[in-house]
Amino acid sequence: MADLISSPAPESLQTAPGPEFIEMRGISKRFGGVRALTDVSFSIRAAEIHCLAGENGCGKSTLIKILSGVHAPDEGQIMLEGKAHSHLTPAASQRFGVQIIYQDLSLFPNLSVAENIAFGHHIPTPVRLVDRPAMRRRAQAVMQRLKIALPLDELVGALPIATRQLVAICRALAGEQARLIVMDEPTASLTHQEVTALLATIHELKRQGIATVFVSHRLEEVLTIAERVTVLRDGRNLGTYWVRELDRRRLGELITGHVFESSLKPPWSGQAAPVLEVRGLSRAGQYAEVDLELRPGEILGLIGRLGAGRTELALSLFGMNPPDSGQIRVDGKPVQLRTNRAAIRRKIAYVSEDRLSLGLVMPQTIADNTVISVLDRLTGRLGLIEGARRAKTIERWIFQELRVKTNTAERPVQQLSGGNQQRVVLAKWLATDPRVLILDSPTVGVDVGAKAGIFQAVDALAARGLAILLISDEIEEVLYQSHRILVMREGRLVGAYDPQRVSERELREVIYA
């Protein structure tokens, strides 16, 4: 991504060290028996772009919450422009100029852009007449400051996510003098162009003397956006680096503590007939004339930009998005996949990228989550589920095959870590005995360390003869994991590549051409 940014930050801005205006010294925090932070020191300079990097659970969210006043540290101090505080309150933090933008943006979808931006107008004195022109002026002033134009009268709920993000940034600046904006995983849902636009805005903030701290575990994001990077791991600060001192490998090592050896896959040499064939598949507005083949044991990578149509295609293969025309053949026989049940019967499984809300039913048990897709296979006489069969399924997939870290399957799945949760998702789908497994961004929200485990599992499955369609945004990941790579652009497949013979840069160029 770095080489495609059209206007990188000027050298002068990058190297000029501003004064440190927020300093957190020796912060420690426990929750119950869990140590979230241990003696962490973290400083922010005026007008800088600083990334707080680390895996999920490393303590970065806790550190931010201490800064924003939601939590109080057990030990340590927070220095605001040299003045020491043992802890902050949300009001005090905001008064000092700290504004947090959460990942869900916390906007009001039923109100207009202008009203969202200027909503702070309503808070201090609720029983007063709304001064609409003043709110509008305030919103316009902020937009001008940031040199962006937003449709003031549109309801926020109708806007695409990138625009909503800009609304959130504007709101952060609309109130009292903001000096620091904290963003949580800001590029998670953005297309490449939108990331460029966001970056321009962040640089504009910098020009206005406003510092930006963003919290992330996505290596790409960190290396593209940040000037300085502070790495946290297991509640400790591993150091602050200039971004030019780091590359993907080094940053990944710091964050996870592992050194990864990745090697390209040998070219796949299976001869078996394709288990899945797609010919001329089209669906208006989503994808057109898609041809592909998937053979047992093969891992086929599918990459492309946001909006290229990959997930739509995947859902069509899974029966949740019936195509307008074209043919899908399983083992040579044409099939009509009108429901996902039909796809499952045809041995096709789909692991959604949205694990939290689509992959698992969080409050329910690991056991129920595992068997939910195969209930009909566990049902015996009288239409009741046979306990022994159910137990066997769980024993096999949860404990033996995927080795989920838990002592019982009868606890809520939300109690597991992200990586273990993803294993339960895989267990669920593997229990359906699929021959085709579609993985949609399987490592999103999974720590860099746990990713390796997931890919090992994927390799093992391919070795056993499963055909795997791997959809991902992370080009490097796909390069090292796949036997073959397809690139999708605006609903069409624009190229097939051999990972041995193509470079990451070339793939990027094809995607973003």
Partner 1 sequence: MPENGSVSGPSASLRTAFRRHDAQLAGIVIVMAVIFSAVSPGFLSGKNLVTLLENYSVMAIMASGLLVVLISGGIDISFAAMAAVSQYLVASLLVRYGGNWVMAFGLAALFGALLGVMNALLIYYLRALPVIVTISTMTFYFAMLMFVTDGKSIYDLPDWFTADLSLVGIPFPVVVAAIVLLITALLLSRLSVGRQIYGLGGNPEAAKRVGCNLLGLQCFVYGYSGLMAGVAGLVQAHRVEEVVPNALIGRELDVLAAVVLGGASLLGGIGTVGGTVLGIVLLAILQNGLTLRGVSSYSFGFVTGLIILISVSATAYAAKRQQKRTVRHAH
Partner 2 sequence: MPIEAATAPAPAAPAPRPSSALGWLGRDPTITMLIGLIVLAAVFFGALAPARFLSGETLRAMAFQMPELGILALAMMIPLMSGGLNLAIIATANLSALVMAAILTKLLGPASAPSAVAGVIALALVAGLATSLVVGLITGVIVAFLGVHPILVTLGTMTAVKGIAVYATNGGVIGGFPPAILYLGNGTLGGVPVPMVLFVVCAVVVAVLMSHAAFGVSVRMIGSNERATRYSGVATDWMLVGVYVASSVLCWVAAVVMMARFNSARAGYAESYLLITILAAVLGGVDPNGGFGKVLGLFLSLVLLQIISTGFNLLGFSPHLTEAIWGATMILAIAIALVRDRWMARLWLRGTLK
State the residues that interact with partner 2 by CB under 8 A.
Answer: 32-34, 320, 339-341, 344, 350, 352, 357-365, 367-369, 371-373, 375-376, 378-379, 383-385, 387, 410-412, 414-415, 428, 432
Can you tell me the distance from the alpha carbon of 501 to that of 497, in angstroms, rounded to the nearest whole number? Answer: 8
DSSP assignment, residue 399? I
Q: Is 152 in the site for partner 1 (CB under 8 A)?
A: yes
For residue 365, how many other CB atoms are within 10 A of its CB? 17
Kindly state the smallest distance separating residue 431's Cβ from partner 2, in Å: 11
Return the number of other C-beta atoms located less than 10 Å from residue 435's C-beta: 17
Maximal CA-CA distance, the chain: 76
- Report, in angstroms and rounded to the nearest whole number, the Rg of the chain calculated over CA atoms: 25
Name which of residues 83 to 102 contact partner 1 (CB under 8 A): 90, 100, 102
**Which residue of 6, 7, 125, 408 would you call a contact of partner 1, by CB under 8 A?**
125
> Could you say which of 79, 141, 306, 335 contacts partner 1 (CB under 8 A)?
306
Q: Extract the tokens encoding 8.
A: 């990188």
CA distance 432 to 448: 28
- In whole angstroms, the minimum distance from the beta carbon of 453 to partner 2 comes to 22
Q: How far is the CB of 48 from partner 2 (least distance, A)?
A: 33
3-state secondary structure of 458: helix
| DSSP per-residue codes, 224-259 | HH-SEEEEEETTEEEEEEEGGG--HHHHHHHHHS--
> Are 21 and 178 in contact, with CB atoms under 8 Å apart?
no
Q: Which of 48, 221, 277, 312 binds partner 1 (CB under 8 A)?
A: 312
- What's the closest the beta carbon of residue 122 comes to partner 2, in angstroms? 17
Q: CA separation (Å) from 17 to 20, 47, 81, 179, 403?
A: 9, 9, 16, 16, 48
> 449 to each of 39, 178, 258, how far by Cα in Å?
23, 36, 7
CA 346 – CA 193 distance, rounded (Å)? 38
Residue 356 within binding range of partner 1, rule CB under 8 A: no
Question: How far apart are CB 373 and partner 1 at their closest, in Å?
Answer: 20
Stretch that binds partner 1, among 55-63, 112-120, 338-346, 395-403 (CB under 8 A): 112-120
Q: Which of 40, 49, 71, 115 binds partner 1 (CB under 8 A)?
A: 115
Cα distance between the two ends of the chain: 13
Q: Are 412 and 443 spatial neighbours (Cβ–Cβ below 8 Å)?
A: no
Size of the site for partner 1 (CB under 8 A): 51
Identify residues 314-333 at the interface with partner 1 (CB under 8 A).
none
- CB of 30 or CB of 236, closer to partner 2: 30
- Does 440 participate in binding partner 1 (rule CB under 8 A)? yes
Which of partner 1, partner 2, none binds 371 (CB below 5-8 Å, type-dependent)?
A: partner 2
Binding site for partner 1 (CB under 8 A): 90, 100, 102, 104, 106-112, 114-115, 118-123, 125-130, 132-133, 135-136, 139, 151-155, 157-158, 188-189, 285-286, 306-307, 311-312, 353-354, 440-441, 444, 473
